[in-house]
Structure 1
Amino acid sequence: MKRIAGLREIADQFDLFLIEQFGVLHDGVAPYPRTIDGLAKIAAYGRKIIILTNSGKCAAANRADLHALGFSGSCLSGIVSSGDVALQCVKSGILGPPFAAGAAVCVIGDPDDHYAFSSDDFELVDQPQDAAFLVFAGSDIPRVSLRAYQDALASPARAHVPAICINPDIATIRHGEIVPAAGAIARLYEDLGGAVEYIGKPHLLIFAHAIASAELQPGARLVMGDSPHHDVAGARPMGLSTLQVQSENYRHLPKCQLLRLCDRSDGVPDFVIPAFAW
């Protein structure tokens, strides 16, 4: 694990940068210092940038959110979200029945958000027990407690209603606080006896999809993220190089403690950087 001060130290080693947004570029409310300028400099250096994100929203919605935060779309070669990849898997039949277009679906998440499965491709239902399958897309915590989710999901779990989690993140940053995310609710459903399919980091399909979308000849790719488990451990089986950004969750840790944490997650990165910087 090599510590670097800025991306300029390694930019010439890679032709494609696969970058997580939450915890690396912004906190959902505002961009982190130097991230907007840093992306522009990577692009000016002639490198492709793809935002690779565990977001239940589609790429267009993520692009709009980034634009609202001040990020220029001209720097990006694309956005690959776990929501979009999951939707494509369902429509193509990869996951098999009952995950199919036209099915009755209950989308679990923040009611103020519009997720990839919140579309005319499905019959959206409000009650989990009325669905052919559930979609864990986001979290409405703290407005809804984990106990309330447990109570609402107990009945469909007993009825063996299958589910797909389109954002495997266990925690997310909301208004400066770390709160349980969709992945935590999906795990709760499994604890209740429900079956869940996962699409998104650290699972390999999203990495393969992102690399294919770049339309590049075989070369060196770098995955940048803030999670040893989702970003680093997920990328390693694909043979991708990894860089961990020490986000708010890990910024206080000295190198020896960070290394132990990464090792426990099987996610020791090739590089580590204190914060996103060129």
Structure 2
Amino acid sequence: MTRIIPSLAEISHQYDALFVDLWGCVHNGVKALPDAVLALQEYRKSGGKVVLVTNSPRPRAGVEKQLIHFGVPDDAWDSIATSGDSARAAMYRGAVGEKVYFIGEGHDQGFFKPLDIVENPVDIQQVPLEEAEGLVCAGPFDPMADPAEMRPQFLYAKQKGMKLLCANPDIVVDRGETREWCAGALAALYTEMGGESLYFGKPHPPIYDLARRRLAALGKPIRDDRILAIGDGVQTDIAGAMGEDIDSLFITGGLAREETKTGKDPESEALQAYLAQEMSSPTFAIGFLR
């Protein structure tokens, strides 16, 4: 049974590294969460390593700028692994062809910046749908719009046999008090319609491979049984940790705050009922990272 803990410090001595989700755990899409920042700073002071593992479609440099904007200090983390970097590597290896139709907002164009970790990258060109070989999705054109609005384009793409590269498997995210659709919702729709979607963020293995490489670059390798994954998404953060056989800390005050009846912490019965419904079994749970 998932154990509810009072603070990260209660268990942090068991782990040499943390894989920490960002949105809903360290910031709320508007500003940093002070208690979470302090908990990570204290953990690093004790010698632990913190790798921020995010389903953001942005390159690592873009996430670093975003953290500064939100007020997350750089002494709260050591490295960053993004779904965007993992997906970009696949794109530049030709996973969906050279001519791609891009789905996303203007600020997502950083996804197409050159990536020096790929040898002999393909020449990616953004083209209209009718000229495309594949789809690249960093998020909806409008995060408040119903994903079903993309059905006409997806029907055409499916009929042409295009693959969709999903740069962010999250279905929804909360920006402050506003819930927005993410790229994962569009990829799920495309799959439901019979198309093929390729995923590179949590809960899928490529981003964990990237996170381990980022962690190894900080010093000596750390065994999986000494890593704790922290996140607020049972179908992304927790499912991914379970798939990688890594212990996990579920932040219930994020996406599942209503279902788990989280005030300061979740109500035990509500938490267990929610986890049973989701067929999820995180190692630990806490209302908010602190």
Q: Return closer, same or farther for 1:176/1:141 CA change in 2, 3 Å cut-off.
A: farther
* Unmatched 5+ stretches in structure 2: 116-122, 261-266
> Do the aligned partners of residues 247 and 140 (structure 1) sit closer, same or farther apart at CA in structure 2, a change above 3 Å counting?
farther
Report which stretch shifted further, 51-60 or 25-34: 25-34
The match for 1:271 is 284
Give TM-score, length-normalised by structure 1.
Answer: 0.89
Residue of structure 1 equivalent to 2:160 = 159
* 1:260 maps to amino acid: A
> Cα RMSD over matched residues?
2.0
Give the deviation of 1:90 after TM superposition: 3.5
Rounded to whole Å, the distance in 2 between the matches of 1:39 and 1:114 is 31
Higher mean Cα deviation, 7-16 or 157-166? 157-166
**Distance change >3 Å, CA 98–CA 42, structure 1 → 2:** closer
For residue 168 of structure 1, report the CA deviation from its aligned partner.
Answer: 0.7
Q: Aligned partners of 1:234 and 1:177: how far apart in 2?
A: 25
Q: Give the 3 Å change call, closer, same or farther, for CA 142–60 of structure 1 in structure 2.
A: closer
The answer on 1:257 being equivalent to 2:270 is yes
Contact 2:168 2:200 in 1 (8 A): yes
1:6-85 mapped onto 2 (5 Å cutoff): 6-85=7-86
Could you tell me which residue of structure 2 aligns to residue 244 of structure 1? 250
Change (3 A) 1:15 1:98: closer
Runs of 4+ in 1 over 6 A off after TM superposition: none
1:10–1:136 distance in 2 versus 1, CA, 3 Å? same
| SS in structure 2 of the partner of residue 114 of structure 1 | helix
Post-superposition CA distance 1:22-76 (Å, at most 9, x none): 1111121112241222221121111100000111111110011001111122332
SS in structure 2 opposite 1:207?
helix
Q: Percent identity?
A: 27
The answer to whether 1:129 aligns with 2:135 is: no
| Equivalent residue, structure 2, for 1:218 | 222
What is the letter of the counterpart of residue 247 of structure 1?
G
Total equivalences in the alignment? 270
* Alignment of 1:116 onto 2:117: no
2:96 alignment partner, one of 95, 99, 107:
99
Give the gaps of 5 or more residues in structure 1: none
Structure 1 residue 239: deviation in Å? 1.8
Change (3 A) 1:129 1:239: same
Structure 1 residue matching 2:179: 3-state secondary structure: strand
Report the 3-state secondary structure (helix = DSSP H, G, I; strand = E; otherwise coil) of the residue aligned with 1:31: coil
Residues 7, 143 of structure 1: alpha-carbon distance in 2 compared, 3 angstrom cutoff: closer
What's the secondary structure of 1:197's corresponding residue?
strand
